[in-house]
Chain A
Amino acid sequence: MAIPARRRVADIAAFAFATAATVFGLVWLAWILWTTLVQGAAALTPSLFSQMTPPPGASGGLVNAFYGSAVMILLGVIIGTPIGVAAGTYLAEHGRYTRLAAIVSFVNDILLSAPSIVIGLFVYELVVRNAGHFSGYAGALALAMILLPIVVRTTEESLRLIPDQMREAGFALGLPRWRVTRQILYKAALSAILTGILLGVARIAGETAPLLFTALNNQSWSASLNGPLANVPVVIFQYAMSPYNEWHTLAWAGAFVLTAFVLVLNILVRLLARKGKEQ
């Protein structure tokens, strides 16, 4: 029995649409990456890593912005990771089946997608307004708040994947629960938790909105976290929005380095995850 023509046409149309949709999605990825590569490669110079952000019309580099970003990301990870791992441990282990864990798990998913600019406003109200000035510490705190739910989620998921026999084996040896968690479960989940932290770093490296009112920016070199601190995303934002060509070029160079960093981290994470699965 042949399928009527109308149904066959609908089928072919759906087939063609699905293929076209995928091509559509991939074209944007290729276009954006290609633009960043071409414009960024043309803007790459050795002075990028040796000179400060310049005033309009002069040449310069982004070394203060790279430094500020690196320090704030590092501090954000140092603040966010222990809290995230502990909260994830509660959700998967100590608080399993409790109402608190169910609520926190739910809230955590909302925080994962919450607008990052609101986090920036929150840290402004909490820290910057009370301190009276913008600071690298405030920026790092905002980044930590964005990293936190990512670490909570991956910790919870990776601990849940560990079979209960492992826990029971630990208890059978007479280990107290916290040592079972620390010495057996964390070891088994280590690569998954590290993956989560790397994913979080890739996410906060490009975050601009939460830094606008916390770390702000700093035209000159400053190693102090207790004042406005230059950072790559805000420099890209200010320079790209400016009318000066030299600044546009620097913004593209920063965009290139940032995109390369984020993509390499993402691909690294996938390789790690695959290796973890094979084990």
Chain B
Amino acid sequence: MRKSGVGADRTFQWITAGAAWLVLLLLGGVAVSMAWGGRLAFETFGWQFVTGRNWDVVAGKFGAFVPIYGTLVTSAIALIIAVPVSIGIALFLTDIAPRWSRGPIAIAIELLAAIPSIIYGMWGLFIFAPFMAAHVEPWLNAHVANKALIGPLFSGPPIGIGMLTAGIVLGIMVIPFIASVAREVFSAVPAPLKESAVALGSTRWEILSRVTLPYTRSAVIGAIFLGLGRALGETMAVTFVLGNAHDLSLSLLMPSNSIAAAIANEFTEADTELYRSSLIALGFLLFAVTFVVLTIAKLLLLRMNRQLGRTH
């Protein structure tokens, strides 16, 4: 009996180890297949694939600068909105809200992450974009567009569909990811640290800015990178409100494109080998960038965990 037990043990261990290898292979497989599928585009265009502005399906010329630019700009807008809001929410939930309300409010914020992105997209297209076109963008045109420096960013036709709207929707979508990590680490700050600040006469703002944030810095930055990773790769919500335009424009009110939206919109219509390869090459770029961003996020969060004395 003992002998069969040992054999079964070994089998069981091999099965679980095999499954673990499969997770690793999955990530490697995605990277390799994207690189392989996109090799035709990379070979044909070289660096022009990244720097070229011309995405011409008919002529078979593919330069992906516009979707890359659109991805970066919308993600930047998303972070500009989501970072302060998420830190505010985390502060509210750890220090300000009445104790009984913290659980329900935290769950409500987390539900923002549960809503499928296609719902964000539909709401964005039918409700939010018309709202932007009717109320926000005319105001921006009238009051911000004439300012120096930032003016050109906010002048353009108020059509609702564009980089600003997409960036705001993305911002809402990443708030729960940043807020939940920030809340967790804020409440893990050792009480004696905060109490000593109180004893020295600090106000709540001073506790946040001089004790809590410095102490949790690496985790908060990690959470921001996590949010960035989400924003870069988000597909459906952006596809609905970005407008699928391949023109480069400085104005945030103009329609644009993103890597994920270009793939979603065009992949099933790609009728030549080069066209399909170009879209897969875009997928490779997206995967590589999010991989780096998420790796940084994970390393920063691990560092925080070690600081808090956790092993995992």
Residues of chain A having any CB pair with chain B under 8 Å:
1, 3, 7-8, 10-11, 13-15, 17-22, 24-26, 28-29, 31-33, 35-36, 39, 82-84, 86-87, 89-91, 93-95, 100-101, 103-111, 113-119, 121-122, 124-126, 145, 148-149, 152, 160, 176-179, 181, 202, 205-209, 212-213, 216, 233, 236-237, 240-241, 248, 251-252, 255, 258-259, 262-263, 266, 270
Contacts and interface: CB of A to CB of B under 8 A. Distances in A.
B203 A259 contact: no
B175 interface: yes
Interface stretch (B48-56, B60-68, B142-150, B231-239): B231-239
Interface residues of B, number: 93
Nearest to B124: A32
B58 interface: no
Contact of A114 (B116, B118, B121, B294): B294
B249 interface: no
A149 B267 CA distance: 26
21 contacts: A14-B208, A20-B88, A21-B92, A22-B89, A25-B85, A25-B175, A82-B19, A86-B16, A86-B18, A100-B17, A105-B312, A113-B294, A114-B291, A118-B286, A119-B30, A121-B263, A122-B29, A125-B33, A160-B312, A179-B8, A241-B125
A176 B20 contact: no
Interface stretch (B107-115, B133-141, B159-167, B191-199): B107-115
A196 B302 CA distance: 22
B312 A117 contact: no
B245 interface: no
B260 A115 contact: yes
Name B's interface SS.
helix
Contact of A178 (B8, B33, B236, B286): B8
B233 A83 contact: no
A233 B115 CA distance: 12
Contacts, number: 277
B304 interface: no
B235 to A, nearest CB: 4
A223 to B, nearest CB: 23
Interface string B27-56: 101100110110000000000000000000
Given A122-B29, A125-B33, A176-B5, A87 B233 contact: no
Given A26-B109, A121-B283, A241-B240, A113 B226 contact: yes
Contact of A110 (B85, B209, B260, B294): B294
Max chain B CB contacts within 10 Å: which of A25, A84, A206? A25
B88 A209 contact: no
Contacts of A255: 118-119, 122
A126 B118 contact: no
B240 A117 contact: no
A131 to B, nearest CB: 15
B100 to A, nearest CB: 15
B16 A93 contact: yes
